[in-house]
Chain A
Amino acid sequence: MVDGKSQSLFKDKPIKVLLAKPGIDGHDRGMFVLAKAFRDAGMDVLYAGLLPTPEEVIDTAVNEDVDVIALSLLNGAHLVVFRKVADLMKKKGIDDIAIVGGGTIPDSDKPKLEKIGITGNYGPGTPLKTIIDHITERAAEARSRKLGIA
């Protein structure tokens, strides 16, 4: 019989990640590279499409019960827009979905984002493996929260 110990739950279930650019920014080359790389790394990948609002991103993340939301912006609005997503999550009491960031994020902005739980914040040229490893780590964290063992 299948055992019921929570630690083993989800162990074979692929990481589910939502890629989203929640601002007015259509530069999606990196999104598609990541989508393919995540898929090839065995993840279930969702893309939020062109110009989703922060509300739509959260709605999708909840409906799909993703482990990680990967946000990217190249238009300089990351502080305003990423924060909107993080705030909405907080407002809805969602603590079992991790948020990671990327794009053109100056070093000086990174601590501000990390403070609101948005980690990674990788710039162009970051090796895919670094990003995949980070997502895997954050997904594990989110998963243990989903199971109530964190």
Chain B
Amino acid sequence: MMKKADDIANGIRAGDLRSISRAITLVEDLNSLTIGREIIKNIYAGTGKAGIVGITGPPGVGKSTIIGNLSSKLKAKGKKVAIIAVDASSPFTNGSFLGNRIRMQGNLYRDGIYMRSLSSRGSSGGLSRSTWDAVRILDAAGFDRIIVETVGAGQADLDILGMAHTIAVVLAPGLGDGIQAIKAGLMEIANVFIINKMDRDGAFIAMKDIEDSLALTPQNEWKIPVIGLDSMKMEGYDDLIAALEAHLSFAAKDKGNEKSRFFHEVKAALLMEAESRINSLTVSSMSGITDLDRKIRDKVNPYTVAEEISRSVLDPSS
């Protein structure tokens, strides 16, 4: 087992695509946590070199198209690019159609860009954990730029974005009143705004709207740029790359940022550790810690019981 994790880790460091892909499969799978974790422990020292860009925004604004074009352009500038796209799974059957790839197809193979789709299912923390691990794997494999695509809705997506050095929020004209709500939720996390589909009516108004809102919010050292894109005519991409690269350098200088990200990483690892311990509890194992029958008879509330047993559940020596 350990040997297997080491083999895969060596493959990752050598940039072998099959090792990279297999490792992501392992960190994606809840039943492979042990080996997945061994791999991450093994490669972690080699991470921290890649620039991680989160691209988020509501469905239909053209994120996949932008990422496809952006990654080709980055590639042309000599960067090694990898993409992780998070797809929403069907709420009914737990199956999913990983469709983001279709919009990027063609460019990917031609330009040698690695792309992996992850589907959002399982526990709330599961997706962000596996996405973080996938990014670490790609980082250790020597990719210079790792682009993570999400729809930016819900806590899981925000957790995913927490690991990015730079977050770009994509909006498009024609979203109607929805744009206000989306803007409200994503305003705080955006480092760059993208208005896509500049050929459409209302694009300039949408751009102006964002700029006006930004003018009203207190800004720190980083002035959030608003970039207009026309993906049909391939216009605006040079500006976008300049903005993303500028923010990546800005973020690299920010040591507080690094500490906060590491804090989040450790916290996520702790949560995962706790979650897996708690999930592994059964009626009989819990009965071994406390007398459940008696608690029921005495009508003791669950919070008090949880406080009583939490130490023994979470104690790593147990």
Contact B109 A39 (CB under 8 A): no
Please give, as numbers and ranges, the residues of chain B lying within 8 Å of A14 by CB-CB distance.
Answer: 94-96, 119, 121
B199 at the interface (CB under 8 A from A): no
B4 x A148 contact (CB < 8 A): yes
Known: A1-B276, A6-B1, A52-B105. A13 touches B31 (CB 8 A): yes
Q: Are A39 and B90 in contact (CB under 8 A)?
A: yes
Chain B, residues 100-144, CB within 8 Å of chain A (1/0): the string is 011001101100001111010100000000000000000000000
Query: What is the bound-complex CA distance between A53 and B30, given in angstroms?
Result: 34
Interface string of A12-37 (1 = CB under 8 A from B): 11100000000000000000000110
Q: Which of A6, A35, A43, A63 contacts B115 (CB 8 A)?
A: A63
Residue B29 at the chain A interface, CB threshold 8 Å = yes
Query: Which residues of the other chain, B, contact A148 by a CB distance below 8 angstroms?
Result: 4
Partner of A46, one of B4, B29, B93, B101: B101
A133 to B: closest C-beta gap in Å = 16
Given A1, A49, A60, A65, which contacts B280 in the complex, CB threshold below 8 Å? Answer: A1
Query: A40 touching B93 by the CB < 8 A rule?
Result: yes
Q: Which of B17, B18, B25, B95 contacts A40 (CB 8 A)?
A: B95
CB distance from B275 to the nearest CB of A (A): 11
Residues on the A chain within 8 Å of B65, using CB: none
Min distance, Cβ A110 to any Cβ of chain B, angstroms: 28
Asked if A55 is at the interface (CB within 8 A of a chain B CB), the reply is yes
B255 CB, min distance to chain A CBs, angstroms: 34
Q: Which residues of B contact A60 (CB under 8 A)?
A: 101, 105, 108-109
Question: Are the C-beta atoms of B97 and A49 separated by less than 8 Å?
Answer: no
Q: Which of A39, A53, A62 contacts B95 (CB 8 A)?
A: A39
CB contacts (< 8 Å) of A9 on chain B: these are 26, 29, 31-32, 35
Please measure, in the bound complex, the distance between the C-alpha atom of A5 and the C-alpha atom of B40, giving whole angstroms: 19
> Which A residues are CB-close (under 8 A) to B249?
none
Q: Which of B98, B106, B115, B116 has the most chain A CB atoms inside 10 A of its CB? A: B98
Judge whether B79 is part of the interface by a CB distance below 8 angstroms: no
In this complex, the member of B31, B92, B105, B106 whose beta carbon has the largest number of chain A beta carbons within 10 angstroms is: B31
A-B contact pairs, 8 of them (CB 8 A): A4-B35, A8-B31, A13-B29, A39-B93, A44-B119, A46-B117, A47-B101, A59-B108
Residues on A close to B: CB < 8 A?
1-4, 6, 8-14, 35-36, 38-49, 52-53, 55-56, 59-60, 62-65, 94, 146, 148
